[in-house]
Amino acid sequence: MTPTTGATQSAPTTPTGASTTPPGATTQPGGTTQANPFDSITFTIVPFSGGGIGAIGGGGGGLTALGGDSALTATLFQAGSSSTPFQSISLKTSDQPAWSSFAPQTLTTSLTTPVTATSLGSVTIALIPGTESPNILAIQSIQVVLSSSSGMPAPVMLLNQSGLPLETLSPAHLSSTMPL
């Protein structure tokens, strides 16, 4: 595999000689800047089943933790903004199979616009309940990782939380926002 060169360039200077960094770029050793190196994001959610949560549906091997016709989305927000979405991502569509308890569900997708490790401020996980039982999701753990298709820089973990359950989404509580 032949190494590729990154999108680095010399930082512009002001008339006084002070270095400036363009918005959304990071300053690298040696005074160069790298514009938004991360172009992919990975979500790993482990559904939890306990206290009567989950019991039916084609989850495959364990108790069903989220019915087959329910959907789940993740909406990313830029740092400093909780009102304007950066990107919405479908984690599970209503035509995908039910999720089983304790079976990790992982989705990696491209970002519409590459970001730096500090560009994103929060993520809202939202349930779109279906009619197939259960139409709730108890989350045991969630991880969110930024990565680059070039392999450089190394992936960055933005979120790594767990609980018993960490969060329960239901028709009465459709979403949860977590800081990144």
Indicate whether 22 pLDDT > 50: no
Angle, vertex CA 38, rays to CA 114 and CA 155, nearest 5 = 160
| C-alpha–C-alpha distance, residues 78 and 44, integer Å | 20
Topology of domain 37-179 in CATH is Lipoxygenase-1 (2.60.60)
pLDDT digits (tens, 9 = 90+) for 79-131: 998 788 999 999 999 999 989 888 999 999 999 999 999 999 999 999 999 98
Contact (CB, 8 A) for 48 and 139: yes
Contact (CB, 8 A) for 93 and 75: no
pLDDT digits (tens, 9 = 90+) for 38-50: 999 999 999 987 5
135 phi/psi in degrees, rounded to 5 = -105, 35
pTM summary value: 0.75
CA distances from 161 to 14, 32, 105 (A): 43, 34, 15
The answer to whether the peptide bond before residue 114 is cis (omega within 30 degrees of 0) is no
Domain ranges of the chain: 37-179
| C-alpha–C-alpha distance, residues 147 and 157, integer Å | 9
| C-alpha–C-alpha distance, residues 118 and 36, integer Å | 10
